[in-house]
Amino acid sequence: MRLFARAKVPKSMELEVGALLSELVFGHGYMHYGYFPEGLPEELSLQALGEAQHAYFEKLLETIGTVPGDVRRILDVGSGTGANARGLIGAGFDVTCVSPSTQMNEMARANLPQGTQVIDSTFEDLA
């Protein structure tokens, strides 16, 4: 779903507006659609979407827990405002964020603990 379907708005700006709205409406800044473990509700509300976005993060934590070995370091590619990184850091992980959006990276730096590495780059350009 595009926020600005008819306007000629750069995709990066659309993502930044979406991140800001997510932060303002839901208070968490998640940029994914969410995880609906029991399927989509008949009527999708903002509350249901917010809960599904949080459920997605919980599913992410659960999935990381199934990886063999003691995973402690995570590269968050497409880290957006740092919402997932903030939760992962809170769960004891060492997170490095990478995103090409300097505006969203500024939001991430403001939202994350001091010293969290946030890299202004695409994943492909890291090599």
Rg of the chain, C-alpha, whole Å: 15
Q: What domains lie within the chain, and their CATH numbers?
A: 11-126 (3.40.50.150)
The pLDDT assigned to 4 comes to 47
The pLDDT assigned to 105 comes to 93
- Mean per-residue pLDDT of the chain: 83
Here the contacts of 100-104 (C-beta below 8 Å, separation 24 or greater) are 100/12, 101/12, 101/15, 101/16, 103/12, 103/16, 104/15, 104/16, 104/19, 104/79, 104/80
% of the chain residues with pLDDT over 90 = 41
Q: What is the pLDDT of residues 10-64, one digit of tens each?
A: 555 666 666 666 666 666 666 667 888 888 888 888 788 888 888 989 999 999 9
How many other C-beta atoms can be found within 10 angstroms of the C-beta atom of residue 52?
19
The average pLDDT across 63-82 equals 91
